[in-house]
């Protein structure tokens, strides 16, 4: 179900919903081809195991939320955007966005050039957007744009078209930036969350392509979520085994498909229209109907669910949250 519930047994990484990466989107800004929109969604508002609602605080103050950008095709970050959040004070949170490039982009830490400081986090229905030069920044609760028949997936891929996410929310980090800040045209993107454990940053979740980590990693889930795209070749055998089981692939064909799914990086050329899986991902791209035929070797072609209708025509583009304070 995209990257939602990517922890053990459809739970959350490190047991904290705020650390759960759900989706990554990248697309040219509508009406302005010189800019791009990058969106990292985390923290689903509802849990599957156990069923119920998650924490009210959108982001964890002891976490780091990071967008990684590879500019030279080696699956190692050359640019990174890092977001940290303040502790809640009377229900108010603020965010700081930093940019780092070069060798530091591939390291772990919360250093970097401050692009936005003290940006208000949206807790209510209206989006609180911060402008900073050529950048625009948003962080807060939004309507989850992901669409999928989750219960059908849990029922042996017997889909009925019931969209589990139609009334669910998610916490979004959205950045509007000039394409010149991305370094070049042919990029590789991924996102990750890190948790401060005893003064050391520990990677809790990571991903780029929707769904595959949830369905294909099995017992090596924790190693996969803690890993780096540059090392993803070690998971080819695990992916191939799962593809044989789910889709009836021959070992040779399963291996070929697994190698196409890895490394777990989203390709993006800001000079071309976005369309998943070839170039970025828009908020209406049907990633499920792309992935299911791969998973099942063509036996299942879709889940009968379509895009949501509550998307906005302007930044941050995600719809208003269904449940909010105001």
Other CB atoms within 10 Å distance of the CB of residue 201: 17
Question: For residue 258, what are the contacts with CB-CB under 8 A and spacing of at least 6?
Answer: 235, 236, 237, 239, 240, 243
Q: Which two tokens stand for residue 295?
A: 């998973």
Both tokens assigned to 77: 């970050």
What tens digit of pLDDT does each residue of 186-233 get?
A: 999 999 999 999 999 999 999 999 887 765 666 688 889 999 999 999
Decide: helix, strand or coil at residue 82.
strand
Tens digit of each residue's pLDDT (9 = 90 or more) over 247-297: 999 999 999 999 999 999 999 999 999 999 999 999 999 999 999 999 999
What is the value of pTM for the model shown? 0.95
- Nearest by Cα to 17 from 208, 170, 231: 170
């Amino acid at each position: 179900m995209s990257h939602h519930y990517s922890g053990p047994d459809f739970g959350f990484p490190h047991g904290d919903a705020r650390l759960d990466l759900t989706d990554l989107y990248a697309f040219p800004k509508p009406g302005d081809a010189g800019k791009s929109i990058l969106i990292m969604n985390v923290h689903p508002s509802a849990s599957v195991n156990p069923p119920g609602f998650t924490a009210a605080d959108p982001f964890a103050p002891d976490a780091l939320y990071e967008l990684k950008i590879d500019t030279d095709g080696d699956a190692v970050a050359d640019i990174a955007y890092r977001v940290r959040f303040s502790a809640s004070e009377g229900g108010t949170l603020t965010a700081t966005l930093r940019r780092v490039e070069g060798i530091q982009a591939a390291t772990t830490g919360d250093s970097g050039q401050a692009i936005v400081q003290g940006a208000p986090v949206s807790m209510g229905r209206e989006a609180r957007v911060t402008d900073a030069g050529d950048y625009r920044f948003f962080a807060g609760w939004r309507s989850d744009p992901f669409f999928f028949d989750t219960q059908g997936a849990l029922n042996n891929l017997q889909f009925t078209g019931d969209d589990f996410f139609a009334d669910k929310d998610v916490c979004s980090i959205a950045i509007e930036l000039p394409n010149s800040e991305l370094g070049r045209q042919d990029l590789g993107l991924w996102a990750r969350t890190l948790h401060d454990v005893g003064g050391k940053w520990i990677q809790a979740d990571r991903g780029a392509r929707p769904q595959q980590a949830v369905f294909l990693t099995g017992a090596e889930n924790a190693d996969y979520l803690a890993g780096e795209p540059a090392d993803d070749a070690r998971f080819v055998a695990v992916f191939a085994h799962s593809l044989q089981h789910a889709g009836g692939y021959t070992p040779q064909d399963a291996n070929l498909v697994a190698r196409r799914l890895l490394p777990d990086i989203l390709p993006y050329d800001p000079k071309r229209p976005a369309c998943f899986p070839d170039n970025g991902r828009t908020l209406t791209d049907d990633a499920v109907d792309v992935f299911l035929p791969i998973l099942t070797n063509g036996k299942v072609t879709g889940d009968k669910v379509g895009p949501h209708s509550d998307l906005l025509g302007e930044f941050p583009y995600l719809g208003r949250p269904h449940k909010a304070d105001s």
